[in-house]
């Protein structure tokens, strides 16, 4: 069975499914599927693995033609090393943000990022056996006030490792990524964002 150029198994891996969970409907997720036995990496090891695959990951995402996917690695990286994200299925993730959203690094409860902010979070799965799989690229874009009140004026997109668009809340496959905001609503007081662990925060002075 194929979907958007990916086998259902590859799609499941990219979405964060453990091999025992492939039978679930990976094309219609209600949440991020979780890796059951992810590798426990120290920051240096996670960074080395990412450095070895980041260019190939970015090239795959860029095949989508999405403007963010083409340039996100030129933006500020707000974490010092990839870190495991329970809210993204136990994948290792990074947080890139464009210049409009430079307040991202100092955001506090009650703050709101400006329209035009784009957050790009690339991801990878590392299994306990140290098998490495590129994950999806998750994009959040802050829309002008009132454009999408049902999502807190955030637009969510998910691009697969081969450049396939999995879903866009303002375009194709909106139903497939509706779960993104369903999850982020739990962080509504923090502008619908889950803050990264303090141990991984990169500090910028401007």
Do the beta carbons of residue 177 and residue 169 sit within 8 Å? yes
Q: For the chain, first and last CA: distance in Å?
A: 49
pLDDT of residue 203: 85
pLDDT of residue 3: 37
DSSP-based helix, strand, coil % in the chain, nearest 5: 35, 20, 45
Go through the domains of the chain in sequence order and give each one's CATH number. 2-21+31-199 (3.50.70)
Tell me the pLDDT of the chain (206 aa) as tens digits: 333 444 444 444 455 434 444 444 555 555 556 667 888 999 999 999 999 999 999 999 999 999 999 999 999 999 999 999 988 888 999 999 999 999 999 999 999 999 999 999 999 999 888 899 999 999 999 999 999 999 999 999 999 999 999 999 999 999 999 999 999 999 999 999 998 899 999 988 77
CA distances from 4 to 15, 17, 127, 177, 178 (A): 14, 17, 24, 15, 19
């Amino acid at each position: 069975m194929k979907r958007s150029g990916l086998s259902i198994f590859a799609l499941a891996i990219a979405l964060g499914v453990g091999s025992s969970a492939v039978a679930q409907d990976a094309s219609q997720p209600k949440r991020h599927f979780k890796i059951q036995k992810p590798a426990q990496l120290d920051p240096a090891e996670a960074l080395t693995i990412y450095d070895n695959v980041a260019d190939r990951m970015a090239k795959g995402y860029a095949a989508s033609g999405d403007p963010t996917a083409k340039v996100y690695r030129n933006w500020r990286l707000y974490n010092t090393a990839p870190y495991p994200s329970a809210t993204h299925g136990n994948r290792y993730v990074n947080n890139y943000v464009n210049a409009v959203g430079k307040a991202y690094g100092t955001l506090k409860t009650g703050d709101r990022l400006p329209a035009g902010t784009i957050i790009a979070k690339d991801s990878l799965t590392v299994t306990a056996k140290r098998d490495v799989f590129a994950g999806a690229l998750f994009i959040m874009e802050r829309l002008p006030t009132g454009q999408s009140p049902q999502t807190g004026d955030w637009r969510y997109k998910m691009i697969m490792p081969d450049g396939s668009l999995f879903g866009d809340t303002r375009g194709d496959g909106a139903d497939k990524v509706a779960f993104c905001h369903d999850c982020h609503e739990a962080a509504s007081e923090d502008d619908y964002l889950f803050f990264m662990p303090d141990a991984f925060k990169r500090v910028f002075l401007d």
